[in-house]
């Protein structure tokens, strides 16, 4: 049930959930919770909670103590409890005090990660009550559960555990209003985190944006983006660098609404980046370089050339500033992209002599090459990354992640084409990893090749397929003694006919699929 749906009027149950402090405040003094009590309320509403309330809370506490219950079950019980509370209590003051009791007695029963979600549920319920006492309760919650509030401010909630979009946006707005009233150090830390949250599900409506699919973001996104952008003037240089970087990373969220919006915000962020000291410009320029692909088409080349020239002039962080531009190439036409890839190969990469200088550019091309979806450009981008990577490649975790991203980029689309030579280079790098990782990569490549083998590239890719099968068989552990080996697992018999000369049973899956297709073509 939606926690944000206001309950219908139910006057008969007003006194069910009354304040736990009300019976001791006949003198009109503030309650022990710090929340003032409305003296004009009916005395029945200031009585101690009813037996039903105590029984319901005790039942919830017993459930939360259950061993083996997963987080979804515990949080589901808690949301059901809050829904029932809001249905039964229609007096706003009584509801505020009841939420205070729940916060005090139940919230600490959740583990750390779940406590943030439960905190958000109570906080959102209090937000819906249009009384000053509600603000007092929220202030108290932030004081007593500052860690949960900080986590909610920076990371938000996962979509599977989150609140409805309207409540999440209301939470965002309150966190923003509290942040801009805080000291500069807090603003410099929290505003970039809020900018990072603009890509959360409550703004985009779904997760297609991360796959590059069309989507329809909410119009409220523009208002919040501009509010964050307007706060740049109140930050120091470090805060401006961090906030401009995060806002530049979110520019792609606006492009489905109106690309003119992207251009205007891009120019504002660029002016802020240019005003920073050289030592702080690299990260914002890298993020702005990636955003060039979302500009109007007639503006992209000028922005690309300007960013390339400015990055080359930086005395510190030059390679990091350049690392945003490989993704910008995705937004160009095929001919322009081909020219720029040659320029990178002949002019730009040779100037990055140190390994540390090459690494940001390597990662950029690994991330972008599968987006060069026309002609030979995916392979050209991958070759640039491999050329720069082979000199510094080892079996470190960083390079293992890079190789996994390369293989994921290769296998993500069966329409992409790569030469046997390039695939051989990838397999050579793969041999430097432990057997378990090698085998996983080989399985992914083999599955991709099985589909490619149905196309016209069959002959030229056959040696690669054979090498992958051989390397994978070498990594397969030998069976224990006295355990018979079935014919389908015996590599010694996989490529030869049995004693009777019958080779049908040893055909690969692709051969079985292709055989009837070939007979059909011959009969035609």
pLDDT in tens, 429-457: 888 888 888 888 899 898 888 887 776 55
Domain annotation covers residue 524: no
Taking residues 463-469, report their average pLDDT.
88
Domain annotation covers residue 182: no
Cα 520 to Cα 110, 459, 506, 509, 523: the distances in Å are 65, 21, 22, 18, 5
The structural domain count of the chain equals: 4
Residues 6, 141 share a domain: yes
| pLDDT of 503 over the 70 cut | no
Domain annotation covers residue 241: yes
Which of 431, 361, 375 lies closest to 403, judged by CA? 431
Residue that finishes a domain, picked among 299, 317, 335: 317
Calculated CA dihedral for residues 172, 173, 174, 178, nearest 10 degrees: 100
Taking residues 319-325, report their average pLDDT.
94
Give the pLDDT of residue 458: 62
Residue that finishes a domain, picked among 276, 292, 317: 317
Domain annotation covers residue 511: no
Lowest average pLDDT, out of 126-130, 227-231, 389-393, goes to 389-393
Give the pLDDT of residue 135: 94
**Residue 47's pLDDT band (cuts 50, 70, 90):** very low
Give the pLDDT of residue 117: 93
| pLDDT of 22 over the 50 cut | no
| pLDDT of 510 over the 80 cut | no
Residues 340, 295 share a domain: no
Residues 352, 219 share a domain: no
Q: d(Cα 355, Cα 47) in Å, to the nearest integer?
A: 72
| pLDDT of 34 over the 80 cut | no
Residue that finishes a domain, picked among 291, 317, 343: 317
Taking residues 266-292, report their average pLDDT.
96
Domain annotation covers residue 486: no
The sign one gets for the Cα dihedral 38, 43, 47, 52 is negative
Taking residues 78-105, report their average pLDDT.
89
Which token pair is 230? 């307007």
Give the pLDDT of residue 463: 87
Mean pLDDT of the chain: 80
Residues 239, 144 share a domain: no
Residues 311, 360 share a domain: no
| pLDDT of 483 over the 90 cut | no
Domain annotation covers residue 502: no
Q: d(Cα 319, Cα 352) in Å, to the nearest integer?
A: 8
Residues 158, 11 share a domain: yes
Cα 269 to Cα 226, 228, 369, 382: the distances in Å are 11, 11, 27, 31
Q: d(Cα 516, Cα 158) in Å, to the nearest integer?
A: 49
Which token pair is 101? 């009791």
**Residue 209's pLDDT band (cuts 50, 70, 90):** very low
Domain annotation covers residue 488: no
Give the pLDDT of residue 352: 84
Residues 123, 53 share a domain: yes
Lowest average pLDDT, out of 148-162, 185-199, 376-390, goes to 376-390
Q: How many other C-beta atoms lie within 10 A of the C-beta of residue 232?
A: 18
**Which of residues 509 and 167 earns the better pLDDT score?**
167
**Residue 391's pLDDT band (cuts 50, 70, 90):** low
Lowest average pLDDT, out of 20-29, 105-114, 209-218, 239-248, goes to 20-29
**Which of residues 26 and 228 earns the better pLDDT score?**
228
Q: d(Cα 84, Cα 128) in Å, to the nearest integer?
A: 16
Residues 6, 132 share a domain: yes
Give the pLDDT of residue 35: 44
Residue 279 structural domain: 204-317
Taking residues 107-119, report their average pLDDT.
91
Domain annotation covers residue 196: no
Give the pLDDT of residue 260: 83
Residues 147, 19 share a domain: yes
Residues 131, 32 share a domain: yes
Residues 215, 113 share a domain: no
Residues 250, 228 share a domain: yes
| pLDDT of 43 over the 50 cut | no
**Which of residues 333 and 480 earns the better pLDDT score?**
333
Lowest average pLDDT, out of 145-154, 161-170, 228-237, 508-517, goes to 508-517
Which token pair is 72? 């979804």
Give the pLDDT of residue 139: 95
């Amino acid at each position: 049930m939606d926690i944000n749906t206001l309950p219908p009027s139910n006057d008969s149950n007003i006194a069910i959930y009354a304040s736990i402090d009300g019976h001791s405040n006949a003198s009109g003094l503030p309650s022990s919770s710090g929340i003032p009590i409305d003296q004009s309320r009916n005395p029945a509403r200031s009585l101690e909670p009813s037996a039903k309330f105590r029984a319901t809370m005790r039942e919830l506490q017993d459930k939360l103590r259950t061993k083996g219950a997963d987080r979804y079950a515990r949080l589901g019980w808690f949301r059901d409890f809050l829904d029932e509370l809001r249905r039964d209590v229609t007096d706003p003051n009584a509801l505020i005090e009841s939420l205070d009791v729940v916060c005090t007695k139940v919230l600490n029963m959740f583990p750390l990660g779940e406590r943030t979600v439960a905190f958000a549920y109570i906080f959102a319920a209090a937000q819906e009550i249009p009384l000053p006492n509600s603000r007092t309760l929220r202030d108290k919650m932030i004081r007593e559960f500052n860690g949960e509030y900080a986590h909610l401010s920076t990371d938000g909630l996962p979509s599977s555990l989150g609140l409805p979009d309207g409540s999440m946006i209301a939470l965002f707005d309150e966190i923003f209003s509290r942040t801009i009233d805080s000291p500069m150090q807090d603003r410099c830390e929290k505003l970039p985190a809020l900018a990072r949250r603009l890509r959360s599900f409550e703004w985009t409506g779904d997760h297609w944006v991360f796959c590059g699919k069309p989507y329809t973001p909410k119009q409220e996104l523009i208002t919040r983006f501009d509010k964050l952008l307007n706060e740049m003037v109140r930050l120091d240089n470090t805060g401006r660098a961090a906030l401009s970087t995060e806002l530049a990373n979110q520019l792609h969220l606006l492009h489905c609404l109106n690309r003119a919006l992207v251009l205007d915000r891009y120019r504002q962020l660029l002016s802020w980046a240019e005003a920073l000291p050289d030592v702080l410009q690299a990260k914002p320029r890298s993020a702005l370089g990636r955003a060039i692909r979302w500009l109007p088409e007639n503006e992209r080349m000028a922005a690309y050339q300007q960013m390339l020239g400015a990055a080359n002039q930086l005395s510190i962080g030059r390679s990091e500033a350049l690392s945003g531009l490989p993704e910008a190439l995705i937004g160009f036409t095929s001919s322009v992209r081909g020219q720029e890839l040659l320029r990178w190969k002949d002019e730009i990469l040779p100037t990055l002599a140190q390994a540390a200088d090459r690494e940001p550019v390597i990662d950029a091309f690994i991330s972008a090459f599968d987006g060069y979806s026309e002609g030979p450009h995916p392979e050209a981008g991958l070759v640039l990354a491999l050329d720069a990577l082979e000199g510094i490649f080892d079996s470190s975790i960083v390079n293992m992640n890079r190789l996994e991203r390369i293989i994921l980029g290769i296998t993500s689309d069966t329409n992409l084409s790569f030469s046997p030579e390039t695939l051989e280079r990838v397999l050579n790098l793969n041999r430097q990893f432990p057997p378990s990782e090698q085998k996983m990569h080989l399985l992914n490549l083999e599955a991709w090749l099985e589909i490619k083998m149905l196309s016209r590239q069959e002959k030229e890719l056959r040696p690669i397929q054979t090498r992958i099968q051989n390397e994978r068989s070498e990594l397969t552990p030998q069976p224990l003694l006295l355990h018979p080996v079935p014919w389908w697992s015996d590599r010694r018999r996989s490529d030869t006919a049995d004693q009777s000369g019958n080779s049908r049973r040893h055909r690969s899956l692709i051969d079985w699929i292709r055989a009837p297709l070939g007979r059909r073509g011959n009969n035609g």
